[in-house]
Amino acid sequence: MIAVGIDSGSQNTKGVAWEDGRVLARAIRPTAFETNGAAAAVYRTLLAELKKPAAAAVVSTGAGRKSIEFADGEINEIRSAVRGARFAAPGARLIIDLGAEACRVIKLHADGQVDSYEVNDKCASGVGTFIETMARALQVTMEDMGPLSLKSTRIVPMNAQCVVFAESEVVSLIHQKESKEDIACAIHTGVSNRINSMVRRVGIVDGIVLIGGTVLNTGLAKCLRDAFGREAVVPEKAQYISALGAALYAAELAGGKG
């Protein structure tokens, strides 16, 4: 019995197909203002790969979760993130879910119940969009940002926090002949400090797990660890963790054993 979880993000829609305790397939495509269309396409891709006509149950999550017409149920982003992250990293106590337009910091009790959480989906300075916009200003791809940042040798201060002002600051840093490596690191450090302030509010504990599309950036992950002063794990396929969480709920909904 196939269960499907769909995570409708502001930038990408991710899907996970699940059966008998394991992930069978994953799919991703840009949401591009077509929330339902992108979700339907992801669903079709999963089914085509599995050569199945339909899933037993589909559960949606993410910013666009309410617009997915074919879903049998929906769960909020906190629940899907917790469910997925605890599956991928059973000891998780502090989940940081960093997407293109939102950041969630979720603190868990030892038993996995939510203790407290803090969400930012109102200011782009602490989310993935910030890094993407700065990468454009640096004229490098998002994929290059991580490796570049890891090669940084010098701390370059960056004052602007707002995406709009930081864009101009990056341009002037380039004019000042600062290296792309050092600027990339400064960008990641800025985002990390802003996320760290959310972490400080909920209270830091060990067992930090980073999920969401933005944490695939290795340079950012390092800057986050530096800001926390603690280890932070990035599970495999970190961008699919919330979709996985939704799939686990879908499996329950379908009556199977998640």
Q: What residue ranges bind another protein (CB under 8 A)?
A: 10, 33, 101, 116, 118, 120, 122-126, 129, 133, 159, 161-165, 175, 193-194, 196-198, 200-203
Q: Enumerate long-range contacts of 77-80, CB under 8 Å, 24 or more apart.
A: 77/102, 77/104, 77/242, 78/104, 78/106, 78/114, 78/117, 78/119, 79/245, 79/249, 80/5, 80/7, 80/242, 80/243, 80/245, 80/246, 80/249
| Closest CB 205 distance from another protein, rounded Å | 13
- Rounded Cα distance, 236 and 239, in Å: 9
CB of 250 to another protein, least distance (A): 29
Task: Kindly state the smallest distance separating residue 193's Cβ from another protein, in Å.
Answer: 6
Give the Cα-Cα-Cα angle 159, 163, 166 (nearest 5 degrees).
Answer: 35
Q: Are 9 and 99 in contact (CB under 8 A)?
A: yes
Which residue's CB is nearer to another protein, number 155 or number 164?
A: 164
Select 140 or 198, whichever has its Cβ closest to another protein: 198
Phi, psi of 168 (to 5 degrees): -65, -35
Q: Judged by CB, which is closer to another protein: 115, or 252?
A: 115
Shortest separation between residue 165's beta carbon and another protein, angstroms: 6
Cβ atoms of 60 and 246 within 8 Å: the answer is: yes
Q: Which residue number, 51 or 175, has a Cβ lying nearer to another protein?
A: 175
Residue 253 Cβ, how far from another protein at the closest point, in Å? 31
Q: Based on CB atoms, which residue is closest to another protein, 130 or 249?
A: 130
